[in-house]
Homo-oligomer: A and B are copies of this chain.
Amino acid sequence: MTPTSIKVACSNCNLRELCMPLGLNERELERVDEVVATRRKITRGDHLFRNGDSFNALYAIRTGFFKTRISTEDGRDQVTGFQMAGEIIGLDGIVSDRHTCDAVALEDAEVCVMPFERIEELSREITALQRHVHKIMSREIVRENGVMLLLGSMRAEVRLAAFLLNLVQRLHARGFSQSELVLRMTREEIGSFLGLKLETISRTFSKFADDGIIEVKQRHVRILNPDELKLIVNAQTCQPC
């Protein structure tokens, strides 16, 4: 066996703490490894699944970056989230055995395919796994609550500031810089997520740059003044007062 063929298992995956329950014993960890049926590579621009596809599995992102979106027949669509390594994707499919949104890779990616039958089977035996699955779904519900708040009652600057802070925070949890990031998505995709047009995103980036809060060069963003960003998010009342 050459080093390149080392078996990648949850038990030795560096994303373990992000996507697996803690506190499993040796034996349980081995069994959880069996949840991952296969791995699958997706090239940038390709779909992991589409609206209408039959639902079989959840996917844990090993590498890469995804967006999920829903589209209406009349061509409108809305990005519902951006997902990165260690996050779970596909929960929308459980209710009706069909996916109700599209998942598109924004860069070359690899996912662990976890057949949902197997997850259910094993989580009947391993309490910690059962609890973990529930928490992951609940977390997604809470996340979407937050997005609804953003979309429902915040101005463009607040939305973009919150978006940037959320991104760096998640990247930081994965060992990346707290102040520098490379956007994997276009202005249009950010806009779709935040309920704004791409021109508004562009203008707001420019305004933040003018104010010395960030530095923007295409998709490279450096956060110069994170406190100011947080201020925009929290004290979005009385900007002019």
- What is A's interface to B at a CB cutoff of 8 Å? 70, 72-78, 80, 91-96, 100-101, 120, 123-125, 127, 130-131, 133-135, 137-142, 144-149, 151-153, 192-195, 234-237
A120 and B124 contact, Cβ closer than 8 Å, known pairs A141-B91, A235-B74: no
Can you list 6 residue pairs at the A/B interface with Cβ under 8 Å? Answer: A76-B153, A78-B149, A100-B145, A123-B124, A141-B144, A148-B151
Please tell me if the beta carbons of B237 and A92 are within 8 angstroms of each other in the complex: no
Across-interface contacts of A144 in B (CB, < 8 A): 141, 144-145, 148
Whole-angstrom distance between the Cβ of A57 and the nearest chain B Cβ: 13
Please tell me if the beta carbons of A145 and B95 are within 8 angstroms of each other in the complex: no
Across-interface contacts of A148 in B (CB, < 8 A): 70, 78, 80, 144, 147-148, 151
Please tell me if the beta carbons of A101 and B145 are within 8 angstroms of each other in the complex: yes
Provide the bound-state CA to CA distance between A155 and B74, in Å: 15
**Count of chain copies:** 2
Provide the bound-state CA to CA distance between A139 and B17, in Å: 27
Provide the bound-state CA to CA distance between A146 and B95, in Å: 14
Provide the bound-state CA to CA distance between A237 and B75, in Å: 9
Whole-angstrom distance between the Cβ of A196 and the nearest chain B Cβ: 8
Please tell me if the beta carbons of B149 and A70 are within 8 angstroms of each other in the complex: yes
Which residue of B120, B137, B147 contacts A130 across the interface (Cβ within 8 Å)?
Answer: B120
Whole-angstrom distance between the Cβ of A132 and the nearest chain B Cβ: 10
Across-interface contacts of A141 in B (CB, < 8 A): 91-92, 95, 137, 140-141, 144
Provide the bound-state CA to CA distance between A47 and B46, in Å: 46
